[in-house]
Amino acid sequence: ETGVTQTPRHLVMGMTNKKSLKCEQHLGHNAMYWYKQSAKKPLELMFVYNFKEQTENNSVPSRFSPECPNSSHLFLHLHTLQPEDSALYLCASSQEIAGGTYEQYFGPGTRLTVT
């Protein structure tokens, strides 16, 4: 595997279900991100992990719970979601360095439908 992978690619879940999205990066990066992409809305940054530590949480509802066990893996745990949470969830990674930044590399996304 190369780049950033995400599983599953598609997920349909009921509002009472619990599921998890998985992201893995094979690039040796030290930062990972979760984004939400909804129709007709700009990309929304949800969570940022730098060196496995969460450094950003953009007022995301508690029904979304991130986990970063190591610098290569990132999870998004989902529970009691709402229909408006249906969206494409994108994972990204980058190499953050002091005094500069490198571009983010994105995975293919997980298309989530909440019924």
* Residue 106 beta carbon to another protein: minimum distance, rounded to whole angstroms: 4
* Residue 66 beta carbon to another protein: minimum distance, rounded to whole angstroms: 15
Query: Judged by CB under 8 A, does residue 75 bind another protein?
Result: no
Q: How many chain residues touch another protein (CB under 8 A)? A: 21
Among 13-21, 67-75, 77-85, 106-114, the segment contacting another protein (CB under 8 A): 106-114
Query: How far does Cα 104 stand from its chain's mean position?
Result: 13
* CA separation for the pair 88, 107 (Å, rounded): 11
* Residue 71 beta carbon to another protein: minimum distance, rounded to whole angstroms: 18
Question: Could you say which residues in the range 6-65 bind another protein, by CB under 8 A?
Answer: 6, 41-43, 45, 48, 56
- What beta strand segments (E) does the chain contain? 4-7, 10-13, 18-25, 31-37, 44-50, 53-57, 64-70, 73-79, 87-94, 96-97, 100-101, 105-106, 110-114
Interacting residues with another protein (CB under 8 A): 4, 6, 41-43, 45, 48, 56, 90, 92, 99-101, 103-109, 111
